[in-house]
Amino acid sequence: MLSIYRIILFCLISSSVASSRTEDIHIFMGSDSNYIMPTSVAIASLLSNSTSREVIYVHMFDFGLNRRDREILRSLADIKPFNIDFIHFAQDRVRDLKVCKSWPYGIFAKYFIPLESKKYNIAKAIWLDSDTVVNGNIRELYDINLRDNYIAGSPQIISTLLAIPLVQECESPIFNAGVLLFNCKKMNEDGMLEKLLAATIKLQDKVIGIDEEAFHKVIGNNSIILPFKYNWRESLCMFQIFLKVFRDVTNDERLPVVTRMFKLMQIKMDEYGKSSSDGIDTLIQHYCFTKPWKLGQGSEYSYLWYRYLKLTPFYDFRQCMIGGINNDIWKALKICLWTTSSIYKLGLKLFLA
Ligand SMILES: [Mn+2]
């Protein structure tokens, strides 16, 4: 009789442990002092959209944060309590690797996520760039079942198209490295850190993204393709406009090279964007190119960033005004693109007539 009670008690305890574990969400990020404002905005967005069911853990790679920066990040717990810890990440950890002039060495920090995750005893983790906002519950991404795959990510269209002739044996796309879900357990078991470091050394000077191509090379087809809504970028929006505007060109067999390129782009956009959005039901907005916090660099998605800026100690009314102006500049640019393409199409018609 006693043993039955013991079994019931054990089941109750283990189920409560299991369910409490699934409530924990582990997110790795990285920042230095220069990036403290966007990093705060990303965390503020993440926290304000999580519920009391989730316990958020932010593991922050420290690329050069001072005490004040750390205090600012900790103060975001006023929005919703969360856990934050800092991981020392000095350049000498990746001293054999080269990056493009303008890119920080911190892009390689994500290679170390599975290794670092051992400290926290976690099987999976999210990497989140600091130039993002999370516009819904991050659990939706964290709960994706990775099964036997190493990574889940959102595809890069252009670099995937460029990589196809290079990596014939691998059908998997190149992922944008701004938002990735890692199967830490499997990556550790298969020694992926060493493989990634070796692949990066091989690829340097040959490719632009380096980390993204290295992931592609090492992970092969063992990945899950996420819909664009998990990592929505302005470039995707521009591709959509581009493809709409140049539809006539894609159907013109007299321009084989251009036609082929556009067709491939369309196929990839359709294939990878099955449940793609126009940015409306976006879970994660990624400000890859235009940075809302930089003067004159806003986009039509900046409003989202300013919404979360208001939750941080950096909130400044004047800055939000600048965000509004940026939006108008972006709209004007779009009109310019439409006009240029119309002129181009007209010229093309005359040329081909
Ligand atoms: Mn980014």
| Helix (H/G/I), strand (E/B), else coil: 213 | helix
Computed over every residue of the chain, the mean pLDDT equals: 82
Whether 7 is covered by a domain: the verdict is no
Q: Residue 10: exposed, middle, or buried by beta-carbon count in 10 A (0-12, 13-18, 19+)?
A: exposed
Distance 154 CA to ligand 1 centre (A): 13
Distance CA 120, CA 114 (A): 10
Angle at 58 between CA 212 and CA 176, to 5 degrees: 15
Say if CB 211 and CB 177 are below 8 A apart.
yes
Query: pLDDT, tens digit, for every residue of 28-59?
Result: 999 999 999 999 999 999 999 999 899 999 99
Distance 319 CA to ligand 1 centre (A): 21
Cα distance between the two ends of the chain: 92
Whether 199 is covered by a domain: the verdict is yes
Distance 243 CA to ligand 1 centre (A): 24
Query: pLDDT, tens digit, for every residue of 276-334?
Result: 555 557 899 999 888 888 766 666 778 888 889 999 998 876 666 565 555 666 667 76
Distance 128 CA to ligand 1 centre (A): 8
Distance 231 CA to ligand 1 centre (A): 10
Distance 28 CA to ligand 1 centre (A): 14
Say if CB 106 and CB 74 are below 8 A apart.
no
What is the model's pLDDT at position 293? 83
Say if CB 180 and CB 110 are below 8 A apart.
yes
Q: Which of 317, 326, 97, 123 is nearest to 210 (CA)?
A: 97
Distance 221 CA to ligand 1 centre (A): 24
Two tokens, residue 10:
């054990």
Say if CB 172 and CB 149 are below 8 A apart.
no
Whether 169 is covered by a domain: the verdict is yes
What is the model's pLDDT at position 20? 44
Distance 81 CA to ligand 1 centre (A): 25
What is the model's pLDDT at position 16? 45
Distance 110 CA to ligand 1 centre (A): 12
Number of domains into which the chain is organized: 1
Distance 178 CA to ligand 1 centre (A): 5
Distance 66 CA to ligand 1 centre (A): 22
Whether 14 is covered by a domain: the verdict is no
Whether 5 is covered by a domain: the verdict is no
Instruction: Say which CATH number the domain at 342 has.
Output: 3.90.550.10
Whether 4 is covered by a domain: the verdict is no
Domain that holds residue 268: 23-352
Distance 129 CA to ligand 1 centre (A): 5
Whether 158 is covered by a domain: the verdict is yes
Distance CA 346, CA 255 (A): 15
What is the model's pLDDT at position 160? 79
Mark the ranges of the chain whose per-residue pLDDT is less than 50: 1-2, 11, 13-21
Say if CB 40 and CB 314 are below 8 A apart.
yes
Distance 310 CA to ligand 1 centre (A): 21
Whether 6 is covered by a domain: the verdict is no
The answer for residues whose C-beta is within 8 angstroms of residue 283's C-beta and 6 or more apart is 134, 135, 136, 138, 140, 141, 229, 230
Say if CB 126 and CB 110 are below 8 A apart.
no
